[in-house]
A and B are shown apart, each in its own frame.
Chain A
Amino acid sequence: MKHTLKLLANVTDFPYSWLKQWKEETGRKVVGCFPMYVPEEIIHAAGLLPAVILGQEHQITLADNYLQPYICSPVRGSLDLSLKGGMDCLDGLVFPDICEPVQMISEVWNVHQPTSFFYNLMVPANTSANYSLSRLTQEFSRLKTALEKFVGRAITQKNLKDSIAIYNEHRRLLHRLYQLRREHPEQFKARDIAIVVASSMLMPKEEHNRLLGQLLGEAAAKAPASTKRARLVISGSFCDIPEVDILDLVEESGALVVDDDLYVGRRYFQTLVNEQEEPLVALARRYIEDVPCPTKYHPDKDWAEYLLRLCQEVKADGVLIMLIKYCEPHALDYPRIKQHLSQASLPHLLIETDRSGATGQIRTRLQAFIEMLQG
């Protein structure tokens, strides 16, 4: 397990070096996808590697010329890295309309760092309307056409179905991993789980499926240990890997992470694509029917209730909410979540992160929170 995890950590620590090397070895192209709503299967079906753009640990300097300092770290950080040439290995970019920062960063990016393939994915704001499914399907079809033009060949129904099958297989494997964690949380470090999911956002799914299979085989063999540690669910950290040293701190302070509601986590693989349906419709339906998303409107999908249900399912003692500083969609939903959790007498801690790690203040608050839970 250690060996595989080390290999995956190498991918997430140096994603663009890894992608560059992969390109050299395979002679294939990579399309960077800004988080959420990008149907990676269509890009995969075009013979390209879709790689999700996540934040990076580095000093932001150049992005300040183009963005105000009060923009979230995933957006500022990735633009900065790109301006420094750190993402030159990307042959294309897809930006979904999820929030103003991602919507407009695409415009800034296209001015300063143009790529050979550039696409604005227009996702409806309302996922509950009579047009939501058809419009998203139409938009995925427009993406497909643009990709076909880029690669110079048609993407067939078979290509799409094959890609969907590979991606669904990947989702099933991650579900198994998460099930194992639920059963034996002490066997998994939250950091490792985050790295497993983050690396899957960068590597070809075929290869990741193989590594996941190995990982599961090794993990399943171990015997469970009984524990009385506080059981935590972690929520949030949209568009980025949850900061791993904060995850480490959770465990060092004595708690166990039993499940999560993270973007680089359960949210990435929760919903499968229906393999019996017409591929583009099925892909669109997956997003329309996916877990509640703070950037989209759906009156019958209540994030607070979803989170509460998840916590009850795994018998959580508390919730750690990681809010990326300046993330407005998350900040706008927080009061409601706060209200729901306290009504259900489920303690939570909100921490704001901006990739500056487990600062003294975060450390103190987190330790006090976990101490309180372990009572």
Chain B
Amino acid sequence: MTVQAPTMKSRDILKDLTANYRQQVKEAPLQGRRVAWCSGISPIDLLKVMDFTLVFPENYAATCGARKVATKNCERAESFGYSTDVCSYARNGLGAVLSGDLEHDPVGGLPRPDLLLINNYCMPIVKWFEELSRFYKVPLIILEQAFRHDSLNPQENEELVRQAAQQLKDIVAFLEEFTGTRFDYDRLQESVAISLKCNQLWREVLEMGKHIPAPFTCFDYFNSLFPIMCLKGEPSTVSYYQQLKSDLAERVSRKIGAIPQEKYRLYWDNIPIWFKLRELSQKFTSYNASLVTGIYPFAWAFTDLDPKQPLEGIARNMVCYATNTGIKGRADFITKLVQDFSVDGLVAQSSRSCRFMNIGQYDIINLVTKRTGCPAVFIEGDMCDERVYSESEVDSKIDAFMELLAQRK
């Protein structure tokens, strides 16, 4: 007997949120609002306080990937001399901007930036935005988040947080000069309080995956990541995640899983393959396998924020989020996920052009296997360049892996 899944009210809210956001972005220049282009993790609360409209080129790349126009944009970048080895998010963004042709743009174009703000979590994001800064002739702010190497001791980690907090003060001063308005610290406290609420709810939503059967899979998480990345610190985002959480709670109370018959519970490692979300979701569903958790969405679930000490909290978030660590740091985090979410197997995506996520991945995953006994499969993919993806190869790897899991059950 199949139980009818309850309607997810949150889906409609997400649709509205997305449409409103796109509208707001489109209208920003007409309304005289300043536009900032930002990296997916960056101190955006500071810009919100200064009434910037925010655009996220990485999210744009993910959207282009999902709508299958990213490969075309990558090819455009390649025509300017960018190698196929360059990050496909960067190629997508540079291809779209440098060609000046938004024919393949899936979201109705991006307004030109007045300012650029990034964290230097990887080198390509710096160089990509450096090029944007030259192209649009606008300033680029880089928050040095520093990589939390396993070799650092707790005091050294604290020093990184202190340095980031110091730099945030400099950024505030820069913004005051840039906009000609005083920075309102009361508003920052409010913004951080809402961001904290968003992050907490996002974490609670992610933790719903602990239930058996899991009410949500990674593919759903990837689709509902957008507000936590792009609309953090806004009351409507709080409402969305509250609704999502209660939708999931209802599923849990009625023991309804995200897939009809959950038999295997899997962990997904790394960034999504945006152009294959549906196919992969169907593939795993055909094996009754639910991808119950992954480290990637936890990068936005940082809850050690204090609205009374907003800059310190933001600094800590920018340095200490889940994926900004070495092999041991990430393996510790994933091991805990495997234990808490009753995971049977690990699916590790080596995203061809994301070196930040793929280097050290073999060691991280092998360490988790060694500690937990969970077998792993590595598949080769990419965030949005479809040309490097071999469907038959990935399928046969998943087939073999599921067979292995079946023998173990």
Most buried by B among A101, A119, A122: A122
Kindly report which residue of chain A lies nearest to residue B352, judged by CB atoms.
Answer: A70
B166 in the interface (beta carbon within 8 A): yes
- Check B123–A295 contact: CB distance below 8 A: yes
- List chain A residues, Cβ under 8 A from B156: 142
A297/B142 in contact, CB under 8 A: yes
Contacts of A129 in B (CB 8 A): 142, 144, 167, 170
CB closest chain-A residue, reference B120: A125
Chain B interfacial residues counted at CB < 8 A: 46
Within 8 A of A (CB), among B75-114: 80-83, 85-87, 90
- Taking CB atoms, residues of chain A closer than 8 Å to B350 are 68
A125 CB to nearest chain B CB (Å): 4
Q: Chain A residues near B80: list those with CB within 8 A.
A: 335
Q: Are B83 and A334 in contact (CB under 8 A)?
A: yes
- Min CB–CB distance B115 → chain A (angstroms): 14
Smallest Cβ distance from B76 to chain A, in angstroms?
12
Bound CA–CA A2/B340 (angstroms)? 67
B127 contacts A332, CB within 8 Å? yes
CA distance A100 to B120 in the complex (A): 11
Inter-subunit contact B356/A329 (CB<8 Å):
no
In this complex, which of B127, B352, B359 has the most chain A Cβ atoms within 10 angstroms of its Cβ? B359
Is the beta-carbon distance between B86 and A332 smaller than 8 angstroms? yes
A99 near B: Cβ within 8 Å? yes
Count of chain A to chain B residue pairs whose CB atoms are closer than 8 Å in the complex: 132
- Across the interface, B144 reaches (CB within 8 A) one of A105, A106, A107, A126, namely A126
Query: Are A299 and B82 in touch, CB under 8 angstroms?
Result: no
B219 CB, nearest partner CB in chain A, Å:
24
Given the known A-B contacts A97-B147, A328-B87, are A107 and B123 also in contact in the complex, defined by CB atoms under 8 Å?
no
Interface membership of chain A positions 127-153, coded 1 if the CB is closer than 8 angstroms to chain B and 0 otherwise: 001110001000000100000000000
Contact B86 A328 (CB under 8 A): yes
Q: Which of B81, B128, B131 has the most chain A CB atoms closer than 10 A to its own CB? A: B81
Q: Is B207 an interface residue (CB 8 A)?
A: no
Contact partners of B133 in chain A: CB under 8 A:
299
A residues contacting B by CB (< 8 A) are 65-68, 70-71, 97-101, 103-108, 110-112, 118-120, 122, 124-126, 129-131, 135, 142, 294-295, 297, 299, 323, 325-326, 328-329, 331-336, 338-339
Which chain B residues have a beta carbon within 8 Å of chain A's beta carbons? 80-83, 85-87, 90, 120, 122-124, 126-128, 130-131, 133, 140, 142, 144, 146-147, 149-152, 156, 163, 166-167, 170, 326-328, 350, 352, 355-356, 358-363, 367
Could you list 25 A-B pairs, sorted by A, with CB under 8 Å? A100-B122, A100-B123, A103-B147, A103-B359, A105-B360, A107-B150, A107-B326, A108-B360, A111-B328, A120-B147, A120-B149, A126-B142, A131-B166, A135-B144, A294-B127, A297-B142, A299-B130, A299-B133, A325-B85, A326-B85, A328-B123, A328-B124, A332-B90, A332-B123, A332-B128
